[in-house]
Amino acid sequence: MAESVCSEASGRAGVARLTALLAELDERNLDNVTRTESYLELYALTRAHPPDLPWLLMAHLVSRNAGCLMTEIAAALDRGDCGVAPPALRELFLFLERANHLIFFDAWYHVLHHLLGRSAELAPDRCSRFMREAWARHEGARRAGPPHPAAERALVSDLVTNEQNLIERRVAHHPRFAVARALVALAEAFGQEPPVVLPCTQASIQVGGFARLERRIRAGMRIFDAMADRATRDAMYAWARRHPHDGSRPPWGGPERPKLRDAWPAHAVRALWDGIHAPPEPDPGWP
């Protein structure tokens, strides 16, 4: 069995807690707020029982940025003055929400299996072959010796590669999101692509071509490199703990916006499209 958070420090209580977190996947995948805070909660657990998994803090911060963009879309809908038709703006929100939902649905399952020391039990119809092999490599390296920065970065690269391939055909290039994809491309063409902003740094990272898989992966690694330094990571974590996520901009120094759950309540989101929170459809390109 792979070394796990439970076996390292917390025994039966740790197993019970991690098992409960795994069982709460649907509840925690309700909306951007629950996902974003869940990533931070799980990262805190790995900090308490090292080594930590920095991808979880990355996921928290990227999901925060997505939530803030969702509230910006809601504000634009309320103002009605941004030059984009309301149905197109709602499609852009659904595009973000679907990607956010699918990545959490996938990652919460396989990351918790890893922390439980149960990666060998990852089901082929539930977790990609790429990620099952990635966890086997990482856990084999852990058994061979203590973690080091190169191994940490390699795992983050695998996690980013997996998540972006997960949404490549299901969201980024799915026919359902043609309007949203066109809006993203238009924003990029006019130099208005919103950057991923990271606290406690000057980093402001743009993908520079969301439709291109390799650019999304490279952007993910730039995010990691901006927080690879331990002191920076610690400062980001402390900032995140001080500022619970609700989708508003003031924690980032921006203007007040509606809170995400006021702007996009879960029942109203499901009414926009009943497939928004469906499990991922099969993808032969990423089995």
Spatial distance between the Cα atoms of 5 and 1, rounded to a whole number of angstroms? 12
Name every residue whose Cβ is closer than 8 Å to that of residue 146 and which is 6 or more positions away in sequence. Answer: none
Residue 25 has pLDDT above 70, yes or no: yes
- Mean model confidence pLDDT for the chain: 93
Spatial distance between the Cα atoms of 229 and 181, rounded to a whole number of angstroms? 34
Name every residue whose Cβ is closer than 8 Å to that of residue 22 and which is 6 or more positions away in sequence. Answer: 108, 109, 112, 113, 116
pLDDT digits (tens, 9 = 90+) for 127-181: 999 999 999 999 999 888 877 899 999 999 999 999 999 999 999 999 999 999 9
Q: pLDDT over 90 for what percent of the chain? A: 84
Spatial distance between the Cα atoms of 45 and 14, rounded to a whole number of angstroms? 10
pLDDT confidence of residue 1: 41
**Does the global pTM surpass 0.85?**
yes
Spatial distance between the Cα atoms of 170 and 151, rounded to a whole number of angstroms? 29
pLDDT digits (tens, 9 = 90+) for 173-187: 999 999 999 999 999
pLDDT confidence of residue 7: 46
Residue 287 has pLDDT above 50, yes or no: yes
pLDDT confidence of residue 13: 64
| Mean predicted confidence (pLDDT) in 89-94 | 98
pLDDT confidence of residue 11: 66
Residue 212 has pLDDT above 60, yes or no: yes
Domain boundaries, the chain: 10-272
- Quick one: which of 159, 164, 166 has its CA closest to 126? 166
